[in-house]
Chains A and B, each alone.
Chain A
């Protein structure tokens, strides 16, 4: 396998323009001769489907849920970045590019990130034209707010529902194409395998979740936009059905998986309540603008927060990072919370939370001002925990949130399998080792609205295959493999539930491949995962049949893939002995005990190639070169 990122030559600001000029085009009349499959209908999938159909391609869009309006992009609260510089505060495309590269701890491609920053402005134009009701100033212009990791106000938002509003915009555009007959919509379908013919992606196998039927879909190109794999940890802020199956199946068919160990852990989530917790809920990190993080000074102090005098409170972030204080990046805040909890200073029923206290802000600005800023978040918190954060400090706890790793793609968003394109969180492209707030929506929409519609034509124009026949042996053989897997799952009839295995895997990953990692723990995890997987295939219970709606079967398939994929994650974490961004190797710290990057040995993307069952995957390195920014160690003290 040879990784060619196909980064265009020329100066950074001109690369994308030049590349678009160099790409082969397909005339409008010929576009209707090409079929494209889009898997997933979140921001990236919906925007790509709509834009491709507008150009004239025949698009088939599939999603897990009952409607393409439900992808988990919908849960994004904070906002979307763009370099509009409406605030006249010194923002520019270059600054957005620089912040994103630095925020990602110099583990992403300059050319990709610069293009993302360039496109960010068109995204806002597009969304406003669709009628997305962004927040406005009294004068009628668009409002902005500041967000973690940036010194300028460049975040566009719609209350705490920016993701929802952007997704509904893309969904509307998609439904318009459905009405026009250019998109065939297939909801309640799960992609269970990729069909590769003569080395190129030619289709997918899906399960119709209502009838249970296994369907073959053929196309000239396959687009995967199925999101991230945070649910490998069982508890995460992802939706319940978010999974790795589509990307992992593509990996097993030859697509390289890049940086799988890069998992963002968000510091401000509502703590878990007990063993029946099914998922975690994020609280917008904007809360840290006014909340002060603290824990009791003495380990094991179980007094109510109000009974702990000021002198016995440890405002650890403010002490350790005087210049950034409570506003340190997500990974730093999460790691420090873990450190406090490990030292026995955690609070709450499980001892795994820290306080986020608004009482000083309320004293300073008044209750009304604080409630105006955070009222809806406070209500959400109260709904879940039954506690009012204006009466007693909020309790927060870190949680798995976003995965920067994903299928490796070149500058055209094509994976190592020709004809297989990967968008949004499912690819690895733009966030390096850590994603900044309000950048996920930007990337999903840049990929879907603007990048893929420009690059896919070049691949299709070079294609010699004109018709795809789903009755060919490759399709039938792949479908049979899927069928066998399903039959095996249904036939096992063991004694443990699917969730039981999933939870076990999640705890293991959280402990050994979570906020901090070390060689001993990772090696232990590497030894234990195959054992859990082995037991899963012999002892799991999957009730019901394959020929009907069977939610247990759906989950079993996803967990089975997580159990294989987790190993790749751990292998990646083990091989990257440096600390960078979210990936904190305890062995790699500076004198100040903070993360230390090793640019001499790890300034690369680690792309893993499947080398056969129970064989160690093969590592391919894509070297990252930085010509426009200077590599520096992050420091927040």
Chain B
């Protein structure tokens, strides 16, 4: 079951946001195929440390595929080639001995680079701040079972709400668009009765912010859906379009 493989890594190294970056080449030495991708980077980092060099900086936290902190582009694909998988859940058994892996940061104008593979995704927080919530103060809630929600609708809302905010959709989109991210949040709340009062305001504000932040526009290329570790469907993008169209035409919003 467990074997070892050796890989050549070409990793993007960049001191900070303003400095010039370049690829550095590292050989991993024998790596157990039971390791995760990030554990493989740990091993390389430990070796670099012992050699007196700085290990590669990369974001990660839960290593269970749910916090959305990790992510890099491996051989041209966000989170690597395994579908529906975050980088931390990608295991080395999916690579072959002797493979060369090119590891780059998520690249987008809206995600400025901080160091090596670490990028600033706070643009996503700015998007949520525009309306990715229901404006209800603590204590002001009605009894939980007052509103019946069809099971199917709750399921669809959860399908959209599963987004982990990793940014792979933006990284994979040829246009660097954030449509899947915004579509997922708009869908989650547009589907539920709790989201209705702010339905139009939310979609208009989030779309406006999305343009402001420098994301590209959607070309319906479906790369976002294919790269999404939570397999969030582009039907949420269609719903975002629909919500936007409806709100633009009909809503009485400033």
Answer whether residue B140 sits at the interface, using C-beta atoms and an 8 A cutoff.
Answer: yes
Please pick, from B32, B143, B147, the residue contacting A276 in the complex, using a CB distance under 8 A. B32
Residues of A157-183 whose CB lies within 8 A of B:
158-159, 161, 164-165, 168-169, 171-173, 175-176, 178-179
Please pick, from A129, A380, A552, the residue contacting B55 in the complex, using a CB distance under 8 A. A552
Cβ contact within 8 Å between A65 and B67: yes
Interface size of B as a range: 35 or more
Answer whether residue B91 sits at the interface, using C-beta atoms and an 8 A cutoff.
Answer: yes
Answer whether residue A418 sits at the interface, using C-beta atoms and an 8 A cutoff.
Answer: no
CA distance A555 to B130 in the complex (A): 34
Answer whether residue B64 sits at the interface, using C-beta atoms and an 8 A cutoff.
Answer: yes
- Convert B29-68 into 0s and 1s, putting 1 for each residue whose CB lies closer than 8 angstroms to a CB of A: 0001011101100110010111011110101111111111
Chain A residue nearest to B60 in the complex (CB): A240
Cβ contact within 8 Å between B122 and A187: yes
Cβ contact within 8 Å between A277 and B122: no
Nearest chain A CB to B28 CB, angstrom units: 11
Answer whether residue A274 sits at the interface, using C-beta atoms and an 8 A cutoff.
Answer: yes
Nearest chain B CB to A57 CB, angstrom units: 13
Q: Which segment, of A130-138, A464-472, A525-533, faces chain B? A: A130-138
CA distance A176 to B138 in the complex (A): 12
Chain B residue nearest to A548 in the complex (CB): B16
Task: From A168, A171, A499, A549, name the one whose CB has the most chain B CB atoms within 10 angstroms.
Answer: A168
Q: Which residues of B contact A175 (CB under 8 A)?
A: 125, 128-129, 132-133
Please pick, from A54, A75, A380, the residue contacting B138 in the complex, using a CB distance under 8 A. A54
Nearest chain B CB to A6 CB, angstrom units: 23
Q: Which residues of B contact A140 (CB under 8 A)?
A: 147-151
Q: Which segment, of A93-101, A120-128, A194-202, faces chain B? A: A120-128
Cβ contact within 8 Å between A67 and B165: yes
Q: Which residues of A contact B250 (CB under 8 A)?
A: none
CA distance A498 to B42 in the complex (A): 12
- Given the known A-B contacts A178-B129, A499-B46, are A131 and B62 also in contact in the complex, defined by CB atoms under 8 Å? no
Please pick, from A124, A139, A549, the residue contacting B115 in the complex, using a CB distance under 8 A. A549
Please pick, from B93, B132, B155, B194, the residue contacting A129 in the complex, using a CB distance under 8 A. B194
Answer whether residue B154 sits at the interface, using C-beta atoms and an 8 A cutoff.
Answer: yes
Q: Which residues of A contact B54 (CB under 8 A)?
A: 543-544, 550, 552
Cβ contact within 8 Å between A130 and B134: yes
Residues of A228-247 whose CB lies within 8 A of B:
239-241
Cβ contact within 8 Å between A74 and B66: yes
Chain A residue nearest to B132 in the complex (CB): A172
Nearest chain B CB to A252 CB, angstrom units: 26
Cβ contact within 8 Å between A136 and B149: yes
CA distance A236 to B125 in the complex (A): 29
Answer whether residue B2 sits at the interface, using C-beta atoms and an 8 A cutoff.
Answer: yes
CA distance A276 to B33 in the complex (A): 11
CA distance A54 to B137 in the complex (A): 7
Cβ contact within 8 Å between A66 and B120: yes
Cβ contact within 8 Å between B67 and A74: yes
Nearest chain A CB to B93 CB, angstrom units: 6
Interface size of A as a range: 35 or more
Answer whether residue B238 sits at the interface, using C-beta atoms and an 8 A cutoff.
Answer: no
CA distance A90 to B233 in the complex (A): 41
CA distance A332 to B138 in the complex (A): 38
Nearest chain A CB to B5 CB, angstrom units: 13
Answer whether residue A386 sits at the interface, using C-beta atoms and an 8 A cutoff.
Answer: yes
Answer whether residue A254 sits at the interface, using C-beta atoms and an 8 A cutoff.
Answer: no
CA distance A239 to B67 in the complex (A): 9
Q: Which residues of A contact B93 (CB under 8 A)?
A: 386
Please pick, from B42, B50, B91, B143, the residue contacting A125 in the complex, using a CB distance under 8 A. B143
Cβ contact within 8 Å between B124 and A67: yes
Task: From B48, B114, B161, name the one whose CB has the most chain A CB atoms within 10 angstroms.
Answer: B161
Q: Which residues of B contact A54 (CB under 8 A)?
A: 137-138
Cβ contact within 8 Å between A122 and B192: no
Q: Which residues of A contact B46 (CB under 8 A)?
A: 497, 499-500
Answer whether residue A38 sits at the interface, using C-beta atoms and an 8 A cutoff.
Answer: no
Cβ contact within 8 Å between A176 and B135: yes
Q: Which residues of B contact A222 (CB under 8 A)?
A: none
CA distance A276 to B30 in the complex (A): 12
Nearest chain B CB to A489 CB, angstrom units: 13
Cβ contact within 8 Å between A552 and B49: yes
Please pick, from A51, A178, A274, the residue contacting B34 in the complex, using a CB distance under 8 A. A274
Cβ contact within 8 Å between A165 and B158: yes
Cβ contact within 8 Å between B158 and A138: no
Please pick, from B55, B122, B140, the residue contacting A543 in the complex, using a CB distance under 8 A. B55
Chain A residue nearest to B82 in the complex (CB): A383
CA distance A282 to B151 in the complex (A): 28
CA distance A282 to B65 in the complex (A): 12
Answer whether residue A50 sits at the interface, using C-beta atoms and an 8 A cutoff.
Answer: yes
- Given the known A-B contacts A168-B161, A175-B128, A549-B114, are A277 and B39 also in contact in the complex, defined by CB atoms under 8 Å? yes
Chain A residue nearest to B48 in the complex (CB): A543
Cβ contact within 8 Å between B57 and A274: no
Nearest chain B CB to A157 CB, angstrom units: 11
Cβ contact within 8 Å between A133 and B157: yes
Answer whether residue A324 sits at the interface, using C-beta atoms and an 8 A cutoff.
Answer: no
Chain B residue nearest to A542 in the complex (CB): B49
Q: Which residues of A contact B192 (CB under 8 A)?
A: 131, 133
Cβ contact within 8 Å between A133 and B91: no
- Convert A38-57 into 0s and 1s, putting 1 for each residue whose CB lies closer than 8 angstroms to a CB of B: 00000000010011001000
Chain A residue nearest to B17 in the complex (CB): A210
- Given the known A-B contacts A278-B36, A543-B52, are A70 and B134 also in contact in the complex, defined by CB atoms under 8 Å? no
Cβ contact within 8 Å between A67 and B125: yes
Please pick, from A72, A138, A165, A276, the residue contacting B43 in the complex, using a CB distance under 8 A. A276
Q: Which residues of B contact A69 (CB under 8 A)?
A: 68, 125, 128, 165
Nearest chain B CB to A299 CB, angstrom units: 22
- Given the known A-B contacts A138-B151, A239-B61, are A75 and B66 also in contact in the complex, defined by CB atoms under 8 Å? yes
Answer whether residue A546 sits at the interface, using C-beta atoms and an 8 A cutoff.
Answer: no
Residues of A613-634 whose CB lies within 8 A of B:
none
- Given the known A-B contacts A131-B134, A240-B61, A551-B57, are A541 and B50 also in contact in the complex, defined by CB atoms under 8 Å? yes
Q: Which residues of B contact A139 (CB under 8 A)?
A: 148
Q: Which residues of A contact B64 (CB under 8 A)?
A: 75, 281-282
Q: Which residues of A contact B195 (CB under 8 A)?
A: 131
Cβ contact within 8 Å between B158 and A158: yes
Q: Which residues of B contact A279 (CB under 8 A)?
A: 63
- Convert B89-126 into 0s and 1s, putting 1 for each residue whose CB lies closer than 8 angstroms to a CB of A: 10101000000000000000000001100101110110
Q: Which residues of B contact A128 (CB under 8 A)?
A: 141, 144, 147, 194
Answer whether residue B249 sits at the interface, using C-beta atoms and an 8 A cutoff.
Answer: no
Answer whether residue A406 sits at the interface, using C-beta atoms and an 8 A cutoff.
Answer: no
Q: Which residues of A contact B162 (CB under 8 A)?
A: 161, 164
- Given the known A-B contacts A69-B165, A274-B32, are A548 and B2 also in contact in the complex, defined by CB atoms under 8 Å? no
- Convert A250-290 into 0s and 1s, putting 1 for each residue whose CB lies closer than 8 angstroms to a CB of B: 00000000000000000000000110111101100000000
19 A-B pairs (CB sep. < 8 Å): A51-B137, A67-B165, A125-B141, A125-B144, A133-B157, A136-B154, A140-B150, A142-B144, A164-B162, A172-B133, A175-B133, A179-B130, A239-B61, A239-B67, A279-B63, A499-B46, A543-B48, A549-B115, A552-B49
Assuming A54-B138, A171-B128, A541-B50, what are 8 further A-B pairs, CB within 8 angstroms? A74-B62, A122-B141, A135-B154, A173-B138, A241-B61, A276-B32, A386-B1, A541-B52
Residues on B close to A: CB < 8 A? Answer: 1-2, 15-16, 32, 34-36, 38-39, 42-43, 46, 48-50, 52-55, 57, 59-69, 85, 89, 91, 93, 114-115, 118, 120-122, 124-125, 128-130, 132-145, 147-151, 154-155, 157-158, 161-162, 164-165, 188-189, 192, 194-195
Considering the complex of A and B, which 10 residue pairs feature the smallest CB-CB distances, nearest first?
Answer: A140-B148, A172-B133, A129-B141, A273-B34, A125-B141, A133-B158, A133-B157, A179-B129, A128-B144, A51-B138
